[in-house]
Homo-oligomer: A and B are copies of this chain.
Amino acid sequence: MSTKKKILIPEDWNLSYNSSGELRLNRFKLIDLAKKFGTPLYILNEKMLIYNSEKFRNSAARIFDRNSSVYYPFKCNSVPAVVDAVKLAGLSAEVMTEFELELALKVGFDPSEIIVNGPCKTDQFLFNCIKNNVSLIVIDSISELISLTKILDLNSSKVNLLLRVNPDFIPKGLSKSSATGSKTCSFGLNENEIIQALKIIGNYTSLKFKGLHFHIGTGIRDPGSFCKVIKKLYPLFRKIKSLGFEIEIIDVGGGFASMTTREMSSFEMLASQAISTYQLKYGNQKFYSFEDYMMKIKKAVMGFFGLRSPKIFFEPGRCIVSPAEFLLLKVYRKKIRDDKKWLITDGGLGTITMPTYYEYHEIFLCNDFKRNPKEKVTITGPCCFASDLVYKNKLLPKVNEGEILALMDTGAYFNALESSFNFNRPAIVSINGENCKVVRRRETFSDMIERDNYKNVFNRKENYHEFYNSQK
C-alpha cells in the first residue's frame, strides 16, 4: 500500500505541457481541440481507458490466480465508444436495464459475459435476460425472486443466481448519499431474507444459487472497507453453508474510488450546504492501487474459506473510466464584485449535474498551466439558477474571458447523468494515441425536438385528430 502524498498534476491524466504551459494530450493541444470542436467538450482518453481496464483485469488474474472475473457496470458511463473500449480490453458486462442489455449485445458481448443487477428489474426485462441466456442474475428482493419463478414456470431455462446481501455496513467517512450497503437503503436482502430466498431457490430445480453479491458505496478510498464488510459477513457464510448451499462466487461490487477525485464526507456535505465560503480541497489523500483493494479482499475471503476460496467478481466502473475522460469549458464572462469573483462558463447544471456537488475534481487552465494560482473564484454554469455551480471558491490562476478550463476526471456519472437543460448536450471526442475522432456528436435542435409530435404541435389545426377512444 502506497501512502505517498499526492498533489494532482497534469501528468496524473497523461497530459503534458510545452514551454508556454499549453496542455496537451499526446500531439493534441487542448485549446486546439476546444477551438475545433467547440465547448463544452468531453475528451475521452481511450488509451487510458483501455490501460486501466487491462490493469484491473491483469491485477485480478494475478492475485486471484485467474479465479476472478471483472464486469464493467454500464450505469457508470454507457457511451458506446466507452463500452466498446472496455470490451476490447477484455472486461465483461454488468447491466441493469433493457437499454444496457441491448447495448451490451449490440457491441458484441457474449451472453455468457453478461451479468444482471439492479433493484427494479421488470418482468419484461427478466424475461429478456432469460431469453438471451445471460450468465447470471443478481436477486435484489424476494418479490423479484418470485417474479422470476413465475417467468421460469413458462420456460424451461436454467438461471444462475447471486443473492444481493445488504450488509448494513457504511465505509468510514463516506457520505450517506453514496453508501449503498446501509440498512437504511432499500438495496439487497438481510439475513432473514437470504434464508427465505434460499428456501425458494431450493424448491426450484431451474434456479441455481451461485453465491452472494454486495455493494457498499461509491468513491471508496480505503481498501480496508472491503475487508471489514467481508468479515462482517462470516456468520452469514456459515449459515448458508449450514443450509447445504455452496458459495461459489462472491461479487464484491464496485465503488473503488478514482484516486484523482475525492468524495465529500457527510460532514463536508453539510458544511458545503451551510457555509458559503466552504472550499473543498483534494487534501493529503493516500493513493491506492487496484492490487491494494484486491489484497485486502483476498485476505478477508481466505480468512473464512481458506485455500478453497470462491471465485471473486469485481464491478469496477468509476476507478476505470473516471480518470479517462475530462471536460473542456470556456470562460465566457468574468465578474468581480465586492470581494467575490466568478467565472461564468458554458458547462452547467445540465452538463455537470451532480458530480462536482459531492466530489473534488481538479481544474486546469488549458492555455497556461504554469500561471500561478492567485485567485479564489466560483465557477458557474450558463443557467439562470443559483445552484448552477461547477465549483465554489477554487484557488486558480488569474483567468481571462475566452480562456479554456479542463475539468478533470469526468468519465464517471457525467455523461450518464447529463440533461439538455437549456443547452444542447456536448460532443465527445476520443483520442487514442495519435488518432482523434468524434465518437458522439453535439446535440442539435432537431435532436432536441425529435421525440415531439411537432407536426401537430407546430401546426395546430391538425391537432387532436387522433383521439384516445379506449375509454368512454
A residues whose Cβ falls under 8 Å from a Cβ of B: 27-29, 32, 36, 73, 75, 78-81, 84, 88, 96-100, 102-103, 106-108, 117-120, 122, 140-141, 143-144, 166, 176-180, 182-187, 190, 193, 215, 217, 266, 269-270, 273-274, 276, 332-335, 337-338, 340, 342, 344-346, 348-350, 353, 378, 380-387, 401, 416-425, 432, 434-443, 445, 447-454, 456-458, 460, 463-464, 466-468, 470-472
Contact = CB atoms under 8 A, between A and B. Distances in A.
A419 B422 contact: no
Given A28-B471, A119-B380, 15 more contacts: A75-B383, A75-B422, A118-B383, A122-B332, A176-B386, A182-B386, A186-B335, A187-B384, A353-B353, A419-B419, A436-B468, A437-B464, A439-B457, A440-B453, A441-B451
A211 B340 CA distance: 26
A443 B451 contact: yes
A215 B467 contact: no
A31 to B, nearest CB: 11
B80 A143 contact: no
B439 A452 contact: yes
A333 B144 contact: yes
Contact of A470 (B36, B120, B143, B334): B36
- Chain A at the B interface: mostly helix, strand, loop or mixed? loop
In this complex, which of A96, A102, A186, A380 has the most chain B Cβ atoms within 10 angstroms of its Cβ?
A186
A75 B457 contact: no
Which of A28, A378, A440 has the largest number of chain B CB atoms within 10 A? A440
Contact of A418 (B36, B419, B434): B419
Nearest to A254: B384
A435 B193 CA distance: 47
Contacts of A117: 384
Most central of A106, A273, A348, A432 by chain B CB within 10 Å:
A273
A408 B383 CA distance: 25
A439 to B, nearest CB: 5
A338 B183 contact: yes
B276 A269 contact: no
